[in-house]
Amino acid sequence: MNQKVFLMRRDELEDGQVRKVVSPSGCPIAVYRVEGQFYATHDTCTHATASLSEGEIVDGDLIACPVHDGMFHIPTGQAMGFPCEVDLQTYKIIEEGDEIHADLSQPSDASQASI
Query: Distance between CA 2 and CA 4 in Å, rounded?
Result: 6
Domains and CATH numbers, the chain: 4-113 (2.102.10.10)
Which residues partner with 57 through β-bridges?
Answer: 63
Q: What is the pTM of this model?
A: 0.92
What is the pLDDT at residue 75? 97
What is the pLDDT at residue 109? 85
The CA distances from residue 46 to 6, 32, 51, in Å, are 24, 17, 10
What is the pLDDT at residue 114? 61
What is the pLDDT at residue 49? 84
Residues of the chain with pLDDT under 70: 1, 114-115
What is the pLDDT at residue 48? 82
